[in-house]
Amino acid sequence: MPENASGEGVGPEGGVAEGVRTGRRMPRALGVGLAVAGLLAVTAASATVTVLVGKPDGGKAVAAPVAPSTGSAAPGASASPSTSASASATPSQSPSPSQSPTSKPKPSSTLHGTVDGATHGGDLRFFLLPMPEGAESYGPADGVKLSKDEVAEQFSNAAEMGEVLDSYGYRNDAAFRRYRTADGQQEVDVRLLRFKSRQMAKEFAGGMETDRGESFAIDGDPDGRGIMLKPEQEAWTGEMLGISSVGDVEYEVTVYVKGTPDKAALQDAMKRQRERLSSGG
């Protein structure tokens, strides 16, 4: 499906396909642009993987993780009720960035978290996927907390998402971080959502269905799954999304690279995030 200037999917008659969005908002706490020299600042916006999330009672809400455009970065999932979207990528110019990833030495974190069986306590940011050595974070090195409204805004039916999240026992506790690897070859988004029970977190993660992209298993995690979206051109941005849960936390890891992604990058990130949530170490 082609895109119009606003990033919305365009239907066969030239109208905008209802609810389809290919842009996402960065959390207000970050509010930063990509560095000119950054990986994604010089590549085209990627097509989107459309993800359908069903309510526990059978209702439907929709989310579509999108590779960030050259002008903005954004976390987690944004929404689209389309089950057959085929948005295409179009190169665009990058505006001057408002902030690049921090290159200062990462200060020692004062965050604390606990793991008690399937329950996570303390600051959820403590459990974010640790950044690899030399990586640079966008925004605070510890990551940011997302309000319920900010989580809802990542979906096209934002007005309804509060109810959808409540139906899964969402605890109004979310954390997000984006970082760029030291070699500049990858940008990684991580988002954690905490629910009232292991079962509800698992159901939220398991309720996501994709209508495009190549699905693949996550090593060592029978409940996890990855989705690969190859770019239409090797000079554009490829995307991989990983979805799973540990205890009462649902997590999503999105890896962006220039060209066709290597599954091993997402496999490694998912493993490290799973270990962090499992032990807190």
* pTM attached to this predicted model: 0.71
Q: Residues 163-217: pLDDT tens digits?
A: 989 999 999 999 999 999 999 999 999 999 999 999 999 999 988 766 678 999 9
- DSSP strand pairing (170-180 vs 186-195): antiparallel
The token pair at 203 is 């159901």
- Is residue 117 packed enough to be buried (19+ CB in 10 Å), middle (13-18) or exposed (0-12)? exposed
> What are residue 127's phi and psi, to 5 degrees?
-95, 5
Matching residue, tokens 């389809």? 20
The model's pLDDT over 139-149, given as tens digits with 9 standing for 90+, comes to 999 999 999 99
Q: Are 190 and 251 in contact (CB under 8 A)?
A: yes
